[in-house]
Amino acid sequence: MRHLFLDQLDETGIIEDPVDLHHLSRVLRMKEGEEVSLAYEGKIYHGTLKQVEKKRALFEIGDEVHIKPYPKITLYQGLAKGQKLESVLQHGTELGISSFGLVRTDHADVPSVEKKKERYLRILKDAAKQSQAPKIPELHFYSSIEELPLVEKEIFFCYEKEDSEKISVKDFQDVAILVGPEGGFSEEEAHYLQNKAKAVTLGQRILRTETAGLVAASIILREFGVL
């Protein structure tokens, strides 16, 4: 069953996103009466396509779908080169990360990524549709680690120099993961973060920046019993 995100929900569900409209009408060639899964503001409903117009698609809304509890995970990711950030956003969304903060660090030799915001948001939405998530993850940009809010109840700083302390979660409703860029955090940044978060190891091997956050999230999900 196709999973779609509504732009409006009243008595009728409405999709107005031009990209989504083109996809469902021209690529998927969905027909009136076809059943779908519809997400809106963190909830999922059974739905049926009623009509596809030029600028919108209308859906009949059915019963709400029960969703099992899922941990709230924020990933603060140091900027990385090439398509690595896109990989983090895509696969992190598929895993269930609920919010991403892309942060410029001392070792991040990467041009501004804010100009790619629309592309990143599309990646998040497509990954959320594919994985049938109830909500599209949030996306934020930070120019330094000092700008990070770090208000989560449990904050884990993935640090290659930590050799014993592992991720162990008590409160799954508000967890943050901090991952450095290629080359890791600088000594100054590491010192700052050690006063704000719990430094943890992800094992004996040094992981790539685009891998570390996904591994950390998987550990948390495993502890929660999702994986």
- Separation of alpha carbons 200 and 157, rounded Å: 6
pTM over 0.85: yes
- Separation of alpha carbons 123 and 126, rounded Å: 5
Look at residue 2 and give its three-state secondary structure: strand
Closest CA to 27 of 40, 35, 18: 18
- 2-65 and 73-224 in the same fold: no
Q: What is the topology classification, in CATH, of domain 73-224?
A: Alpha/beta knot (3.40.1280)
Q: How much is the pLDDT for 32?
A: 93
Residues shown for the chain:
227
- Is the pLDDT at 31 greater than 80? The verdict is yes
- Is the pLDDT at 124 greater than 80? The verdict is yes
Mean pLDDT over residues 19-45, rounded? 93
Look at residue 222 and give its three-state secondary structure: helix
Closest CA to 30 of 20, 41, 40, 44: 20
Tokens of 130: 């594919």
70-123 pLDDT, tens per residue? Answer: 999 999 999 998 899 999 999 999 999 999 999 999 998 888 899 999 999 999
Domain range list for the chain: 2-65, 73-224
Torsion of CA 140, 206, 97, 133, to 10 degrees: 130
Q: How much is the pLDDT for 108?
A: 87
For tokens 């409006």, the residue is 8
Q: Which CATH superfamily is domain 2-65 in?
A: Hypothetical PUA domain-like; domain 1 (2.40.240.20)
Q: How confident is the model at residue 171 (pLDDT cuts 50, 70, 90)?
A: confident
Tokens of 186: 């600088």
Is beta strand 99-103 parallel, antiparallel or unpaired with respect to 138-142? parallel
Q: What is the H or E stretch that residue 177 is in?
A: strand 175-179
